[in-house]
Chain A
């Protein structure tokens, strides 16, 4: 089993916002990757952005700069 560590997880209302997040994080060199939204956040099959906690400021800059809608930013063990 993979060891869990604290991660920053951004949940999105839909796929379009998740894809925008990936595009603009990549474009600006902000670390992270798309994951399936953890069930502790919501049941279903949406996407979330997972990054190291220290990326929080950069992640928020991308969210605000691109007007990306979220359903919350969480710190959870993954």
Chain B
């Protein structure tokens, strides 16, 4: 099997991640729930991972909140910050993890506007700025489209937002772990991430880096291990946004994933992924009948190449790839409805190839040949 669906979840992971999870399952108690060895083991492990993530995203350790995935992070942030009468600005690049919370909030009296994109799927900071209103409370946008791999200029968007006192919320599902992000330098108030993609951790891990001083109303309330006799959720971060037992076993694995990234170098891993994606792009772009989506003129992009072959349904192509070639891709709508509407691919969908630093040139060559054979058939 050749796996080219890393934008959905990592399949190839360092062995150390599996070992860390297994070790945690065997020995870890419940973090922040006692002074015995098993509980402290969990508290220490989680603290270490929190600290590593704080260093990665340029915020204090207490400003890292763990959630079960980026969707939970985005729901927490959007529902915790936007109130009836507020306005938010987003983009057509977004995943449903951004759009569906906004549609739900819209029913409760929150307005939002979505900036469009050009023919290559790029959204500009100026287009976003043009949608600012007097009551705009936040911009929420993806760092990279999960469909095209195009990056958004979060630093410039954040700068423009902050000039107007508007909060900047970033969906980093496709970039956390491979692209450097710094809350202060990038003018970001909340950076939401998932643990199971480029951070190489297990599924069920995710979180957010929250700018110091920003108060987000909790989505969940419950046990925190502190302030037991208070009726409300503690004010302190991260407990304010972390009700209930954390996924300590998963977080231990996430820590091992981060250690691997640090040992290899984020830039080196990113260059390898981009190199493979570029090799694939150059291999398929001249094949008659192949349509590509996204802006490939820019070197810095998430390692994603989405395409269609003639008028074939994307699901049919994806099945063909897996059944005849053992190549795993993602077809259909990719939970990005507005992006497909912008490209006119709502019916056909797209076949998405997404690359990992664990993929090889040989695998990529096979994928190019598979696309060629299907297109020539």
Contacts and interface: CB of A to CB of B under 8 A. Distances in A.
Interface size class of B (residues with CB under 8 A): 20 to 34
Contacts of B368: none
Contact of B229 (A17, A36, A44): A44
A71 B31 CA distance: 21
B229 A15 contact: no
Contacts of B32: 15
B228 A16 contact: no
A1 interface: no
Interface in A8-63: 13-20, 22-23, 34-36, 43-47
B306 interface: no
Contacts of B60: 67
Contact of A15 (B48, B51, B228, B239): B239
A19 B44 contact: yes
A16 B229 contact: no
Nearest to A18: B43
Interface string B6-45: 0000000000000000000000000111110000100110
Interface in B266-283: none
Contacts of B31: 15
- The winner among A15, A16, A23, A44 for most chain B CB atoms within 10 A is A16
A43 B47 contact: no
The interface residues of chain A, by DSSP majority, are classed as mixed
Contact of A14 (B33, B35, B40, B236): B236
Contact of A43 (B33, B48, B225, B228): B228
B35 A20 contact: no
Contact of A47 (B35, B46, B48, B227): B35
B238 interface: yes
B61 A16 contact: yes
Contact of B50 (A16, A18, A34): A16
Given A17-B62, A20-B47, A35 B226 contact: no
A35 B35 contact: yes
B125 to A, nearest CB: 34
B255 interface: no
The interface residues of chain B, by DSSP majority, are classed as loop
B234 interface: yes
Given A20-B47, A23-B47, A34-B40, A15 B226 contact: yes
Given A13-B236, A14-B236, A45 B225 contact: yes
Interface string B234-246: 1011110000000
A33 B35 CA distance: 10
Contacts of B234: 13-14
Contacts of A69: 62
A36 B225 CA distance: 11
A16 B62 contact: yes
Contacts of A23: 44, 47-48
Interface in B60-77: 60-62
Interface in B216-256: 225-229, 234, 236-239
B43 A15 contact: yes
A25 to B, nearest CB: 13
Given A22-B44, A47-B35, A14 B62 contact: yes
Contacts of A44: 226-229
Contacts of A36: 35
A16 B238 contact: yes
Interface of B: 31-35, 40, 43-44, 46-48, 50-51, 60-62, 225-229, 234, 236-239
Interface of A: 13-20, 22-23, 34-36, 43-47, 67, 69
Closest 5 CB pairs of A and B: A19-B47, A15-B32, A14-B236, A46-B226, A44-B228
